[in-house]
Amino acid sequence: MTERLPAARVRNGYSAWRLIAEELRVEIGDGRLAVGDRLPTENSLSQRFSVNRHTARQAIAALAAEGLVESRRGSGTFVLGDTVRLHRIGVRTRLSSSLHEQRSAAADVRVLHSAVEEPPVDIAERLNIGGGRAVRVETSRSADGQPISVGTHWFDAERLPNIAEGMASAGSVTAALAASGIKDYVRVSTVVGARHATSMEGSLLSLGPGAIVLVTEALDSEPDGTPLQYLVSRFAAQRVRLDIEHPRTD
């Protein structure tokens, strides 16, 4: 009879192998396991996390399915790589530019859906449209063929009635605004959070269920302070870091 630690794993809704996989992902992400390194063996992982070897194997299999590691029979499991993109956030942040500092394959913005509707009160307030209607535009953005983020844009319907069509044809918020006579705008505020992706976001960003999204809520306005756009973006946290601009205050 083998000693059976009750383990008393709390029922947290996460399978053991998923928790192990996430822990290993962190070690890969922060460099404790560098590209090319060999992971601990399946036996040592199963001891470290107090699970059966098969459970540890499943964690590795999940990472391998993502292309993060590769197992080689007889020799071990090795870290392949961990590519993340940087998305710059600053006063002049625009959706379509400045993804991955060096402008790689142009960030491709697509309009998925648009509608004119009553905005939620907090958004109406921020856009300063008391009682008026708003244009809501749903977009998705990808770079190098890989989906990066989905966005929900809100505009004053009275002021910018044709913004959705402009965005769809120009493939850019900046260009659509320019077509409506707005030459310049600046980022006023950005708030960043993180949460699990919804099933809808998961399918748009080709993420598994339970994946994480970075959520930014931002307000853009004209240089004189008139609110223009309220934008909620959701980035695939696996693939994106937000790089925050700190202008020198010389």
Partner DNA sequence: CAAAGTTGTCTATCTTTCTAGACAACTATC
Partner DNA sequence: GATAGTTGTCTAGAAAGATAGACAACTTTG
Q: 64 near 72, Cβ under 8 Å?
A: no
Q: Does 37 bind a copy of itself (CB under 8 A)?
A: no
Nearer to a copy of itself, 19 or 179 (CB): 19
48 is a site residue for a copy of itself (CB under 8 A): no
**112 belongs to the binding site for a copy of itself (CB under 8 A):** no
7 contact choice in DNA, a copy of itself, none (CB below 5 to 8 Å, kind-dependent): DNA
Alpha-carbon span 130 to 121, nearest angstrom: 9
Establish if 127 lies at the interface with a copy of itself (CB under 8 A): no
H/E stretch holding 86: strand 85-89
249 binds a copy of itself, rule: CB under 8 A: yes
* E strand or H helix at 18: helix 16-29
Using the rule CB under 8 A, is 35 a contact of a copy of itself?
Answer: no
Q: Return the closest-CA partner of residue 22 out of 242, 244, 237.
A: 237
Applying CB under 8 A, among 129, 204, 214, 228 the residue interacting with a copy of itself is 214
| Closest CB to DNA among residues 5, 121 | 5
In the chain the first and final C-alpha atoms are separated, in Å, by 72
91 binds a copy of itself (CB under 8 A): yes
E strand or H helix at 109: strand 108-117
Judged by beta carbon distances under 5 to 8 A according to partner kind, the member of DNA, a copy of itself, none in contact with residue 41 is: DNA
Q: Pick from DNA, a copy of itself, none: which does 187 bind, CB < 5 to 8 A by kind?
A: a copy of itself
**CA 228 to CA 233: how far, in whole Å?**
16
Residues 146, 83 contacting (CB under 8 angstroms)? no
Reported as type and span, the H/E element at residue 187 is strand 186-196
Q: Is 166 left (phi over 0), alpha (psi -120 to 50) or beta?
A: alpha
Q: Which residues form the interface with a copy of itself (CB under 8 A)?
A: 10, 12-15, 17-19, 21-23, 25-26, 29-31, 62, 84, 86, 89-91, 120, 122, 186-196, 198-199, 208-210, 212-214, 232, 237, 240-244, 246-249
